[in-house]
Amino acid sequence: MTDSKILIIKNSWFHIINNTENAGEYFYQVLFQLDPSLKPMFKTNTEEQSKKLVMMLSYVISKLNVLDQIMPQIEGLAQRHTKYGVSPDHYQIVGQALIQMLEYKLEKHWNEEIKAAWLEVYTILSGAMIQSTSEVYNV
């Protein structure tokens, strides 16, 4: 990822965290609208899960300049998610929900440049997560 794309992601996430509420909860609303069959995978309440999502995204975004250093943690996250029943197909739906949440929360600040940057980082991260679980799913 280029430094300019990393800056776009960091600035847009900073805006969401500081100027909107319930980004994580809105993400899960969108996710369950896109695929209601995913809801039973979540044993904890969505408020708790939403906080974890925002914390995880904030951490990853803070490390985008050194993404290779956190890949073991990303791969560990993927391994844990397979235990919850997450399959490679789910990553596309999660990506759609993420983009929809970002667009909604950024409102007038949303543009194609921001969308492209987020799609790139999501493709990198989800690709690494899928690859790290390829033995489980024979991908």
Q: Locate tokens 């990198």: which residue?
A: 124
Q: Is the predicted pLDDT of residue 9 greater than 60, yes or no?
A: yes
- pLDDT tens for residues 78-125? 888 888 888 889 999 999 999 999 999 999 999 999 999 999 999 999
Q: What is the pTM of this model?
A: 0.91
Token couple for 85: 């029943």
Domains of the chain: residue spans and CATH: 3-137 (1.10.490.10)
* Cα torsion through 19, 15, 100, 123, rounded to 10: -150
